[in-house]
Structure 1
Amino acid sequence: MSENEIIEYVKNHPSGRVKIAVADIDGVLRGKYISTEKFMSIINNSFGFCNVIFGWDMADVAYDNTNYTGWHSGYPDANTQIDLNTFRKIPWENDVPFFLGEMIEGSENHVCPRQLLKRIENQAKEMGYKPLVSQEFEWFNFEETPQSAADKNFQSLKPLTPGMFGYSILRSSQRNDFFSAIFDNLKAFDVPIEGLHTETGPGVYEAAIQYGPTLEAADRAILFKTAIKEIAYKHGIMATFMAKINEDLPGCGGHVHQSIWDAEGKNNLFFDANDLNNMSPLMKSFVAGQLLCLPEILPLIAPTINSYKRLVEGAWAPTTLTWGVDNRTVALRALTGGNKSCRLETRVVGADTNPYLAIAACLSAGLYGIKHNLELKQPATIGNGYTDESNGRLSKNLIDATHKMKESKIANELLGESFVNHFAQTREWEWREFSKKVTDWELKRYFEII
């Protein structure tokens, strides 16, 4: 739809309201409904949105260690702008109009995840490239409501379906109402998915979102996560994108697929039919850049305490800094079968990520390799990537990864000092919040015997 058509749709929608949202640092969409009249007054101007969304954690507890905003600043409004290109109709809300926004100008753009990704996408454009990106997600589904889950203290929840049924035709037909609603509603919501199937684990689904330009791909990914939860509510289901729901079950990935094309988007610059693995020198530099940079920006793709419970051996998630051709045990999986499909899959990324930050991490690291013409000296891993420690291992917890990022010259170069400082402070807060809690494991382990 053209801009005029979008505005006419908003004006004529019988609800008289518009839903808007901005992504916070954790990838949680924070938003509200506004009247049609209010929307019309801000579409060509910025408006105020409380900057507390970058000053508290996902549980709405205010940080006490950040510089960007806090009690010291009084939590003022930040200049925020609606992006008309994000227009969508919410099919499960009577097609009410919806838009994403972002915080702009001044210091706000130092911490806004969408602004960060836009800057990195612009860097690629300035280099003459058009990145195409997509993210895929695995997630668990439970026959619970927010109230019932809380009443059970999030223990012994009833999975949507029992058993380990990856790629199951049977299980996808068992709750086909929900399965079909996902496909149909997401298509109507302009978050097209290429595939949807059950994954191994009770009540686990996996979906691959259709690839697209960088910012559009990230918008689709962040809307996908919220849309899945809202559609699930309609069916008496709770969906979770935690990286690891149970120590005995596989974790949930949020793998990022990326390729670099020419400025017109006509030629995939990753593909080279004359290379043994069909990888161009540019793709090899991109891979080398990620191998070098990812350990220093790991919190962007493993952002929570729980993220590191997924990154363990033998659980379909990488632990080592490795790459390989169509190898699911390595950190970076090169898929080079054809000119159109040649791409890199970054498998470190979990489902619990903020898509803007996960994609920013992958793209900025790869572009770093291209800018510096890095050689891919590390050989491809053949076989079990968990045993290949020739290039090192990933950090094993959030605080170690955060300290490495905070002190990294590369991280500051890629993301900017203001963003790195703020994001590191939020991860240090997350670690503090976790460290003071007494867990069930500790009670079971120490209560009687110690």
Structure 2
Amino acid sequence: MANDPRPIDAAAVLDAVRRSPFQKVKVAVADIDGVLRGKYLHRDKFLSAASGSGFGFCSVVLGWDMGDVCYDNCAYTGWHTGYPDANARVDLSTYRTIPWEQGVPFFLGDFVDPAGKPLAQCPRQLLKRVLARAEKAGFIARCGMEFEWFNFQETPATLAAKNGVAPTPLSPGMFGYSLIRMAQNQPFFAAIMDELLAFGIPIEGLHTETGPGVFEAAILYSDALEAADRAVLFKTAVKEIGARFGIMPSFMAKWHAQLPGCSGHVHQSLWDPAGTTNRFHDPADALGMSATYRHYVAGLLRCLPEILPFFAPTVNSYKRLVDGFWAPTKATWGVDNRTVAFRHINGGPKATRMESRIPGSDVNPYLAMAATIGAGLYGIENKLALTDQPITGSAYHAQM
């Protein structure tokens, strides 16, 4: 059972910042795409913001895409509002120090509205609302994400010189689970494992995947908000570490039509309020699935058309969802079946869980977790029956 770091001793965290040898603190918030947008604050400014007043952050980060192109149909912010500041509140429980910046303090924040209430447009606040709904129903949600991503022998300058076309992969060939490819890139592998652990993002497993220059990492599971924080931080951290080695990681869902895309699978389970009993597991059931779990899966299948944009947020996301390329293409579930949309893993009382296999590596973890947990709760709240039978064999050939 993973231990979530919340709650924390706020006074001790602030004291650690005061004692830091640095006069700066790095802060960040997640935009709609799950991209971290951040800045340095002078330590005094940070301590003032952390007292509860927060700090200003241009609202455009919730009104443009990952390429900084402003939305033309956004009601919350836009040219019609003049792009005022939004108030970001520091979450002291997210305190970390950045190993590759000699230990500079780091914090995540949430957006709040002018009344100090959670801002509806903030992805992290949305996940917190869904988790509060789960808590009210008597559950703690736990999640873990795993990412696949391509690595290229490029820098921003060299890729720009190619007009963003035909990047050079880190290594040729497919070579999933290759120990040789790992050894050839050992310093980068070691930095990911060791520095992310020091950054509070423990990696359960790291290996090469099938595809030129593809890696896959499984992040240790935890309570859902911490899991989403780890996932968002993971992508940024890997890019920052990679730059040190002349490597450009890409979490694009599908960069090449002839190669498999990159996933961002979400593992999830619901536990009792004490965090000791997995409410998905039932040893008396032939598949190890409780009635609660079956309602949850039924909710996922019922809500999938509505929540699909949370799993596949861009046009490129859908190019990954192709038969025969390790991504699901139908609303299906199955037992330890990697061709279905929702994979049941019977891991006993400690590890029985559902894996949502639809999300790509381009996903916003806050939105993906909010969508999958929210849909599962919908199934539980409405006692939806799981009438669809589990798919055996290839889901690509399933008759729907």
Coarse TM-score class (shorter-chain normalised): over 0.9
Residue in structure 2 matched with residue 2 of structure 1 by the alignment: 9
Secondary structure at the residue paired with 1:340?
A: helix
Residue in structure 2 matched with residue 293 of structure 1 by the alignment: 303
The yes-or-no answer on 1:341 pairing with 2:348 is no
Q: Aligned partners of 2:195, 2:9: CA distance in 1, in Å?
A: 22
Q: Aligned partners of 2:319, 2:221: CA distance in 1, in Å?
A: 28
User: Counterparts of 1:416-431 in structure 2 under 5 Å?
Assistant: none
1:60 to 55, 68, 84: 68
**How many aligned positions are there?**
390
Q: Aligned partners of 2:252, 2:166: CA distance in 1, in Å?
A: 16
User: Counterparts of 1:197-346 in structure 2 under 5 Å?
Assistant: 197-346=207-356
Residue in structure 1 matched with residue 106 of structure 2 by the alignment: 98
Q: Aligned partners of 1:71, 1:41: CA distance in 2, in Å?
A: 30
Residue in structure 1 matched with residue 4 of structure 2 by the alignment: none
Secondary structure at the residue paired with 1:26?
A: coil
Q: Which is worse superposed, 117-126 or 6-15?
A: 6-15
The yes-or-no answer on 1:382 pairing with 2:382 is no
Identity of aligned residues (%): 57
Residue in structure 1 matched with residue 93 of structure 2 by the alignment: 85
Residue in structure 2 matched with residue 180 of structure 1 by the alignment: 190
The yes-or-no answer on 1:32 pairing with 2:39 is yes
Q: Aligned partners of 1:317, 1:153: CA distance in 2, in Å?
A: 29
Instruction: Measure how far apart 1:80 and its partner are.
Output: 1.4
Q: Aligned partners of 1:61, 1:350: CA distance in 2, in Å?
A: 22
Higher helix share: 1
Partner AA of 2:70 in structure 1:
A
Residue in structure 2 matched with residue 427 of structure 1 by the alignment: none
- The answer for unaligned runs of 5 or more in structure 2 is 1-7
2:81 to 66, 73, 84: 73
- The answer for unaligned runs of 5 or more in structure 1 is 391-450
- After superposition, what is the alpha-carbon deviation per residue over 1:320-342, rounded to whole angstroms, capped at 9, x for unaligned? 00000000000000001311110
The yes-or-no answer on 1:19 pairing with 2:29 is no
- After superposition, what is the alpha-carbon deviation per residue over 1:278-309, rounded to whole angstroms, capped at 9, x for unaligned? 11111111100000101111111100110001
Q: Aligned partners of 2:55, 2:97: CA distance in 1, in Å?
A: 22
Q: Aligned partners of 1:249, 1:288: CA distance in 2, in Å?
A: 32
Instruction: Measure how far apart 1:158 and its partner are.
Output: 1.6
Secondary structure at the residue paired with 2:51?
A: coil
Q: Aligned partners of 1:99, 1:332: CA distance in 2, in Å?
A: 33
Q: Aligned partners of 2:399, 2:122: CA distance in 1, in Å?
A: 35
Instruction: Measure how far apart 1:387 and its partner are.
Output: 1.7
- After superposition, what is the alpha-carbon deviation per residue over 1:46-71, rounded to whole angstroms, capped at 9, x for unaligned? 22211111111211122221111111
Q: Aligned partners of 1:5, 1:157: CA distance in 2, in Å?
A: 46
The yes-or-no answer on 1:124 pairing with 2:134 is yes
TM, length-normalised to structure 1 = 0.85
**RMSD over aligned Cα, in angstroms?**
1.1
TM, length-normalised to structure 2 = 0.96
Partner AA of 1:174 in structure 2:
Q
Partner AA of 1:33 in structure 2:
Y
Retained in 1: the 8 A contact 2:177–2:207? yes
Secondary structure at the residue paired with 2:315?
A: coil
Retained in 1: the 8 A contact 2:347–2:353? no
Partner AA of 1:362 in structure 2:
T
Partner AA of 2:265 in structure 1:
H
